[in-house]
Amino acid sequence: MRSRGRTRTNRLSPARRFRQRPLWAVLALVMGCGVLYGVDRWQSADAAAPKADAPAFQAHATIHELMEHMVDPAADGVWDAVAVISNEAGVEKRQPRTPEEWQAVRAHAMMLLEAMNLLLIEGRRVAAPGAEAHFGEHPPAQIEAMIKENRPAFIGFTEGVRQTTLQALAAIDKQDVQGLVVAGGHLDEACEACHISFWYSIPATLPKAAK
Ligand code: HEC
């Protein structure tokens, strides 16, 4: 009798089974809702997913804004980290000394590297509509046309900044101050190479030297 009784407790009497049914029903309902919710989210995520022919990246800032807010401050962070300043107080050799100072110049180099990727996004405007060129600069609309026509050259100039910044990064990681000074010089040339081709109009508009 005892053993039978024990087996009985392992099975559910019809009454207990009935009493437990609402629990299963509720569980099934909750799980079902969960699945439906998941499917729904998956479907809406699918609906929001970019179409195959949509561009993978969206440009928001103009090239002008990227230069002003990212490229120039990042390059300054690399250049200004090392300097020899001589004045009436004597000669100051400025260089990163603490790990934090080396980390700061490294962060600027990193930002500069990644900013070059942003310049490669197609369709980025050069400047806000209506922006005017200063004396000696091509108007933004003309720069846009020039970039369109000479895209490989434009990309090549970003590569110049990338390579010289990688040189700076290698010097930073070796805490090589002299190497950082040298790389900084190359970096400056790399910036100007693009500016001379795509931004400054002066060389093209100078009167031809008399022969
Ligand atoms: C691939 C081409 C390219 C490279 C590389 C490049 N620039 Fe520029 N930069 C431009 C163009 C184009 C403009 C002109 C945008 C405009 O019309 O305002 C510009 C404008 C600027 C401006 C003027 C923005 C303002 O506030 O008036 C600064 C500053 C500048 N660049 C700094 C740099 C520095 C520093 C580097 C190198 C670390 C660099 N650029 C590398 C293309 C480049």
Ligand 1 center–CA 130 separation, angstroms: 18
Specify the pTM: 0.77
Residue nearest to atom 18 of ligand 1 (CA): 64
Structure tokens at 33: 């809702």
Residue nearest to atom 16 of ligand 1 (CA): 64
Find the residues whose C-beta lies inside 6 A of ligand 1. 63-64, 67-68, 71-72, 75, 112, 119, 126-127, 140, 143, 154, 157-158, 161, 187, 191, 194-195, 198-199
Q: How far is CA 86 from CA 89, 92, 94, 128, 179, in A?
A: 8, 6, 11, 41, 21
Ligand 1 center–CA 67 separation, angstroms: 5
pLDDT tens, the chain, 211 aa long: 444 444 444 444 445 444 555 555 555 655 665 555 555 555 555 556 667 777 789 999 999 999 999 999 999 999 999 999 999 999 999 999 999 999 999 999 999 999 999 999 999 999 999 999 999 999 999 999 999 999 999 999 999 999 999 999 999 999 999 999 999 999 999 999 999 999 999 755 455 655 5
Return d(Cα 194, Cα 126) in angstroms, integer: 14
Degrees (nearest 5) of the Cα angle 66, 144, 123?
65
